[in-house]
Amino acid sequence: MEKDEIIEEETTKKKIKPATKRAGMTASAKKKTAVARAVIKKGTGKIKINKMSLDAFASGHLKEMIMEPLRIAEDTTKEFDISVTVRGSGQMSQVTAVRSAIAKVIVRAKGKKYRELFLAYDRLLLVDDVRQVESKKPLGPKARKRKQQSKR
């Protein structure tokens, strides 16, 4: 009986793998087919997008768009490092997804105060834009455009 009990105990014991924890909090955002995933950690205020600095990723008005949520929550930007990965679509959609992901991750880290600030400033900071390009249909060059017909 001892052997049977030992065998039963060994078979009933399940090996539980420890849960893998990502350092920091995460959030994701979408615009068209661009998907941005942001991770926020305690740090010194560095912002990396696709392992590049913010200056290398975007310049001009695109950089200003990304900086909007950081400017609204400027007291928190110096105590956290934000790392964002973005893939898909074009540059403008990627920038919109990045700014939304940064805003969402700040809200997750700091709370409702920033949620209300972001919603008052621009709703698209916290709500994804799920509109997609309509697929092309047969007998036309685009989704809805058709060849012009003449009556005579």
Q: Residues 80-134: pLDDT tens digits?
A: 999 999 999 999 999 999 999 999 999 999 888 899 999 999 999 999 988 999 9
High-pLDDT (> 90) share of the chain, %: 58
**76 touches 68 (CB < 8 A):** no
Q: How many CB atoms lie within 10 A of CB 24?
A: 18
Q: Write down the pTM of the prediction.
A: 0.77
What is the pLDDT at residue 19? 41
Domain over 23-125 is classified CATH 2.60.40.10: no
Q: Could you tell me the CA-to-CA distances from 13 to 1, 2, 3, 17, 61 in Å, in that order?
A: 18, 17, 16, 12, 58
Query: What are the sequence ranges of the domains in the chain?
Result: 23-125
Mark residue 24 as left, alpha or beta (left: phi above 0; alpha: psi -120 to 50; beta: remaining). left
